[in-house]
């Protein structure tokens, strides 16, 4: 695989949507990193970057690599003018809001949200997250099966982000349904019109719900992120309604789709690396260091995107203005030039400068929350079932901009 030539890779481009690729994309990443780190893909009509230094450089360089168009930038190449008209609301939504704009607009919005997601504020959620995890696991007895995604990794982050955001518990079901529907088009390499329209319908439903909640917070302020966005003022400016809607969707989806996949992949990898797991059981104080390795090795965000604003030459290749660049975060996180024994899962790894949360201006806003949730979940699971085993060996994977197992079933062994 290391010597895979790039024509073969292009033919194997089909493999990106195959279950085999989703199960283990890392050999492809290694081949690309080694043979053609700045790879033009005819099939995907974009550049694919796999080396750590290049990916980090692009993430830091918002002057040349823009977040505008990161989600829908390739739509022009997939759809006709008439089809694009049908997708106007989806495209309009992804043209604004925190993650879809560059500084200085981005800086203004980010300043407003910073206070809610900083470590000291997030730390206050600790007791509540501990009790949620206990609730989810309390029923389990020795020998029981735990469906990790369904019973733990999915419901927990949903509950937490819904609470932070201000969604009442009875409505969280709606959010999970919308968020799964919205993510559907982003999870596909080249989504069809039908899939995009389905995602658009869910997106519009979610936006309508948030619009009503925004109107409510204007007259009934609460202690939640939505109220903060409604009331926040920076240098005399407020967030526009459109900025609030788009950013709310990012927080609600970003707050759980990612964390769910990281939890499930980590629980699977700890089962595959019993000696590493045993060390963590012995030394739970090493948890926060281990979380960084969970992020590097199991990070769910495989494919970030930027649109090139001016022609840029990288490793001798000319990336032209308007072209899309895929930044393969998970490939960068296994780059041997950046990490010693990069393919090893090493829970005591020091100086772990992974890119799982991105880098630069858009670095993940929820990183402290995600770290806290991960630490609590893995600590609690290892306290209650330190010897857990896989109850079903075959694991099916979902692969798109996020990668994670569809389900992991374990036997709860103390």
Which residues are near ligand HEM by CB under 6 A?
A: 67, 98-99, 110, 117, 161, 250-251, 254-255, 258-259, 262, 299-301, 304, 356-358, 362, 364-366, 369-370
**Phi/psi of residue 47, nearest 5 degrees:** -85, 145
Give least dist CB 309 to ligand HEM, A: 15
Q: Which is nearer to ligand HEM, 334 or 362 (CB)?
A: 362
Give least dist CB 296 to ligand HEM, A: 11
Q: Which is nearer to ligand HEM, 12 or 71 (CB)?
A: 71
Give least dist CB 375 to ligand HEM, A: 12
Q: Which is nearer to ligand HEM, 36 or 163 (CB)?
A: 163
CA 328/CA 51 separation, integer angstroms: 8
Give least dist CB 20 to ligand HEM, A: 24
CA 317/CA 65 separation, integer angstroms: 15
Q: Which is nearer to ligand HEM, 181 or 299 (CB)?
A: 299
Q: Which is nearer to ligand HEM, 21 or 301 (CB)?
A: 301
Q: Which is nearer to ligand HEM, 36 or 257 (CB)?
A: 257
- β-sheet bridge partners, residue 46: 41
Q: Which is nearer to ligand HEM, 98 or 382 (CB)?
A: 98
Give least dist CB 382 to ligand HEM, A: 19
Give least dist CB 393 to ligand HEM, A: 25
With CB atoms as reference, the residue minimizing the distance to ligand HEM is 366
Could you give the dihedral angle defined by the CA atoms of residues 232, 236, 242 and 243, in that order, rounded to the nearest 10 degrees?
Answer: -60
Nearest alpha-carbon partner for 165 in 71, 245, 57 = 245
Q: Which is nearer to ligand HEM, 250 or 387 (CB)?
A: 250
Q: Residue 170's Cα: distance from chain center in Å?
A: 25
CA 266/CA 280 separation, integer angstroms: 13
Give least dist CB 165 to ligand HEM, A: 8
Give least dist CB 96 to ligand HEM, A: 12
**First-to-final CA distance of the chain:** 40
């Amino acid at each position: 695989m290391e010597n895979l030539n790039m024509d073969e890779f292009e033919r194997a481009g089909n493999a990106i949507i195959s279950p085999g690729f989703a199960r283990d994309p890392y050999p492809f990443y290694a081949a690309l990193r080694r043979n053609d780190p700045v790879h033009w893909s005819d099939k995907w009509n974009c550049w694919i970057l796999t080396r750590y230094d290049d990916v980090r450089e692009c993430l830091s360089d918002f002057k040349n690599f823009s977040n505008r168009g990161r989600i829908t930038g390739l739509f022009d190449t997939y759809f006709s003018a008439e089809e694009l008209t049908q997708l106007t609301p989806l495209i309009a939504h992804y043209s604004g809001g925190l993650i879809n704009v560059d500084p200085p607009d981005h800086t203004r919005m980010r300043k407003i949200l910073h206070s809610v997601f900083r470590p000291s504020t997030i730390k206050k959620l600790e007791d509540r997250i501990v009790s949620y995890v206990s609730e989810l696991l309390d029923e389990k007895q020795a020998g029981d099966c735990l469906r990790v995604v369904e019973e733990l990794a999915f419901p927990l982050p949903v509950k937490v982000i819904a609470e932070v955001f201000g969604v009442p518990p009875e409505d969280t079901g709606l959010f999970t349904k919308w968020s799964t529907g919205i993510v559907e088009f982003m999870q596909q390499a080249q989504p069809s019109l039908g899939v995009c329209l389905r995602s658009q319908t869910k997106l519009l439903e979610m936006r309508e719900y948030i619009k009503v909640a925004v109107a409510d917070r204007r007259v009934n302020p609460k202690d939640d992120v939505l109220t903060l966005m409604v009331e926040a003022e920076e240098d005399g400016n407020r967030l526009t309604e459109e900025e609030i809607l788009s950013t709310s969707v990012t927080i609600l989806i970003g707050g759980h789709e990612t964390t769910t996949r990281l939890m499930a992949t980590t629980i699977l990898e700890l089962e595959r690396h019993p000696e590493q797991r045993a060390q963590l059981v012995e030394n739970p104080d090493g948890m926060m260091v281990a979380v960084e390795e969970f992020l590097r090795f199991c990070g769910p965000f495989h494919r970030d995107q930027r649109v090139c604003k001016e022609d840029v030459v990288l490793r001798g290749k000319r990336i032209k203005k308007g072209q899309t660049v895929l930044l393969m975060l998970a490939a960068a996180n296994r780059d041997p030039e950046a990490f010693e024994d990069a393919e090893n899962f090493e829970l005591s790894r020091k100086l772990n400068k992974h890119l799982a949360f991105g880098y630069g201006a858009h670095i993940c806003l929820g990183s402290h929350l995600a770290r806290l949730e991960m630490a609590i979940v893995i600590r609690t699971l290892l306290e209650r079932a330190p010897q857990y085993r896989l109850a079903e060996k075959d694991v099916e994977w979902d692969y798109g901009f996020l990668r994670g197992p569809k389900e992991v079933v374990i036997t709860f062994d103390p």
